[in-house]
Amino acid sequence: MPELPEVETVRRGLQPVMEGARILSVEQRRPDLRFPFPEGFADRLAGHDVVALGRRAKYLIVHLDDGGILICHMGMSGSFRIETGGEQQTPGVFHYERSKDARHDHVVFHLRRRDGARPRVVFNDPRRFGFMLLTDTKSLETHPLIAGLGVEPTGNELDGALLSRLMGHRRSPLKAALMDQRVIAGLGNIYACEALWRAELSPLRGAHTLAAPPGTASPRAVRLAEAIRAVIAEAIAAGGSSLRDYVQADGSLGYFQHTFSVYDREGMPCPRAGCDGVIERIVQSGRSTFYCPVCQR
Ligand SMILES: [Zn+2]
């Protein structure tokens, strides 16, 4: 499953191609992905201009000139490919390599940009856990996928006081509470592990231990809020710079691996200066948690 920074790098890669472009036509090559495509999917998009390409949690939100909205989710294995003339580019950088097999090209957006260029944006998804749905501006916030989402982990809204309030009454382990999309939207397994390591907090500690009197923040919550925003921002920044390299090099990029402190590093020494701990892997709520039992308390 792509994590939020990966989705954001995809958004940033698609943005200069899609924003301001007209959708001339849409080729929908199968009736469904994870869900059936909406009735008249291609016809409802054709002829409209893309006014903005946004993101909420791991959903790409395509805003059209008539108030229509296309919600895209990349699922496990989805990717977008930009084809301009003979050139191809797959924006975004992923922990796992993306398919370029044309058999898995399920949707093709034929675009016309204001400068006359006619790029195609191709959605490829071998496992077909991705999906595309339609809504409109006035219904977006109440859409079933969007309405229950918690705070974005990227913005200033997520601070210590909010985290103390969100976590304060929860008895579940801190890691599980962080992964709850109703609390924080789009903070996936990798970055939950990384943020907890950075904040020196154990994933096993009860979420309620971040509690503070109403309107205030516990020191732990302040540390964790800063850590969450930092690990996400750094991953997005790294993705942005890799994106530029990618266009030239056309190589597979695994940079996320190199920036992890604990994720996927079971048995390796804790990278924190002065800590002689060894990274352990445990399973929480069916997901692997990586952490250092020495410095994360
Ligand atoms: Zn450590």
Q: State the pLDDT confidence band at 94, using cuts at 50, 70 and 90.
A: low
- Greater confidence (192 vs 235) lies with 192
Please say if the pLDDT value at position 234 is more than 60. yes
Which tens digits make up the pLDDT trace of 243-296?
444 333 333 333 444 468 999 899 999 999 999 999 999 999 999 999 999 999
Active site residue 138: no
Please say if the pLDDT value at position 93 is more than 70. no
Which tens digits make up the pLDDT trace of 48-73?
999 999 999 999 999 999 999 999 99
Active site residue 58: yes
Q: Which of 202, 226, 208 has its CA nearest to residue 280?
A: 202
Which tens digits make up the pLDDT trace of 133-189?
999 999 999 999 999 999 999 888 999 999 999 999 999 999 999 999 999 998 889
Token pair for residue 239? 């993705």
Amino acid identity at 25 = S
Active site residue 3: yes
Q: Which of 116, 210, 124, 198 has its CA nearest to residue 172?
A: 210
Which tens digits make up the pLDDT trace of 97-108?
677 788 999 999
Amino acid identity at 109 = F
Q: What torsion, rounded to 10 degrees, do the Cα atoms 196, 150, 259, 208 define?
A: 0
**What is the distance between the alpha carbons of residues 280 and 276, in angstroms, rounded to a whole number?**
13
The active-site residue out of 12, 118, 120, 287 is 287
Residue 179: the pLDDT is 93
Cα torsion 236, 241, 244, 247: sign: negative
CB 214 within 8 A of CB 165: yes
Compute the distance from residue 189 Cα to the ligand 1 centre, in Å.
19
3 state SS for 182-207: CCECCCCHHHHHHHHHHCCCCCCCEH
pLDDT, averaged across the chain: 89
Active site residue 100: no
Q: State the pLDDT confidence band at 2, using cuts at 50, 70 and 90.
A: confident
